[in-house]
């Protein structure tokens, strides 16, 4: 018992230290300043949720063949994994341990629930205020937007499909789907934690596309979140796969919206003068 308490303490506090290091290093990375994205939670920022939502809903109409191929591949993989949903779940449940319990609880689950993202992006925003760095504040708001839109999207899908969670029936049955308008009880598909984590990962990998380690770390954490949901017996593997795909698409949509720039911009410069700038797309 004492060992478990000490181990849990170290995991939590070492991880918080690593989180601060993450903020520090990425906060000084160079890159796009996202000129047309708001650096404060104003009316334009709130409106951007509607704009990004419209882009997400209408984007399939402008997909190219490679994007349709990617979507088809995800659905095909999901169909195959669906056959083995319960077999995969059983493998995870047969290999439980104190170490994995603590890892799931203290390292991965808080990324999907919103605790660590709040610390991460809160740190970005505070850093931006303290150093008058608008880019840090934009990243904080963009990352928050990716997380929120991932969470909202997963909730909408959950209440369309109403799939039973593996821990809600005995024996667990991956084939139990209630369909739309069935209350709030069965909300397994897709995994909301995984959707949110992959939305953050794809967003951050876009922001720091010149920093390979950021993408590796972000997707590594998101993958851990997904696996932890299977390990905790609250989601089926297909819930996690589709959640990851949806989150990836949402994170990229938020990043692409932030990264969109008009050729010319007109405004007031930091020194108080009038500025007219041309930027290459």
pLDDT at position 33, please?
74
Q: Is residue 147 in some structural domain?
A: yes
- Regions of the chain where pLDDT drops below 70: 1-32, 261-281
Q: Which residues pair with 268 in a beta bridge?
A: 274
pLDDT for the residue numbered 193: 97
| pLDDT reported for residue 261 | 52
104 within some domain: yes
What is the number of other CB atoms lying within 10 angstroms of the CB of residue 146?
30
pLDDT number for residue 18: 53
Q: How far apart are alpha carbons 208 and 188 in whole angstroms?
A: 32
Contacts of 136 (CB under 8 A, 6+ apart): 27, 124, 125, 127, 128
Inside any domain, residue 151: yes
Give the per-residue pLDDT at 32: 63
The reply to whether 161 falls in a domain is: yes
Q: How many other CB atoms are there within 10 angstroms of residue 248's CB atom?
A: 22
- Give the tokens for residue 168: 């809600």
Strand partners, 277: 265
Q: Tell whether 43 is covered by a domain.
A: no
Count of structural domains within the chain? 1
Q: Which tens digit of pLDDT belongs to each residue from 163-213?
A: 999 999 999 999 999 999 887 889 999 999 999 999 999 999 999 998 999
Full domain range(s) for residue 9:
2-27+74-278
Interval 72-99: pLDDT, tens: 999 999 999 999 999 999 999 999 999 9
What local confidence, expressed as pLDDT, does residue 35 receive? 82
User: Does some domain include residue 116?
Assistant: yes
Q: Is residue 53 part of a domain?
A: no
* Residue 148 maps to a domain: yes
């Amino acid at each position: 018992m004492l060992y478990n308490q000490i181990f849990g303490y170290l995991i939590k506090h070492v991880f918080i230290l690593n989180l601060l290091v993450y903020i520090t290093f990425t906060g000084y990375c160079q890159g796009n300043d996202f000129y047309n994205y708001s650096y404060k939670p104003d009316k334009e920022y709130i409106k951007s949720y509607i704009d990004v939502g419209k882009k997400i809903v209408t984007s399939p109409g402008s997909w190219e063949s490679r994007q349709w191929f990617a979507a088809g591949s995800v659905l095909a993989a999901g169909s195959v994994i669906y056959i083995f949903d319960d077999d995969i779940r059983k493998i995870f449940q047969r290999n439980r341990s104190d170490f994995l319990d603590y890892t799931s609880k203290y390292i991965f689950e808080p990324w999907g629930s919103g605790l660590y993202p709040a610390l991460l992006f809160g740190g970005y925003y505070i850093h931006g205020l303290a150093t008058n760095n608008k880019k840090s504040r934009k990243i904080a708001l963009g990352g928050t937007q990716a997380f929120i839109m991932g969470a909202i999207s997963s909730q909408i899908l959950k209440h369309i499909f109403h799939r039973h969670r593996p821990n809600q029936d005995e024996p667990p049955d991956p084939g139990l789907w209630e369909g739309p308008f069935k209350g709030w009880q069965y909300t397994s598909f897709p995994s909301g934690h995984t959707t949110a984590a992959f939305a953050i990962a794809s967003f951050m990998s876009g922001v720091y596309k010149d920093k390979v380690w950021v993408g590796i770390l972000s997707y590594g954490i998101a993958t851990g979140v997904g696996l932890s949901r299977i390990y905790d017996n609250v989601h089926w593997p297909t819930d996690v796969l589709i959640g990851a795909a949806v989150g990836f698409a949402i994170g990229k949509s938020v990043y692409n919206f932030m990264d969109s720039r008009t050729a010319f911009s007109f405004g007031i410069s930091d020194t108080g003068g009038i500025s007219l700038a041309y930027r290459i797309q």
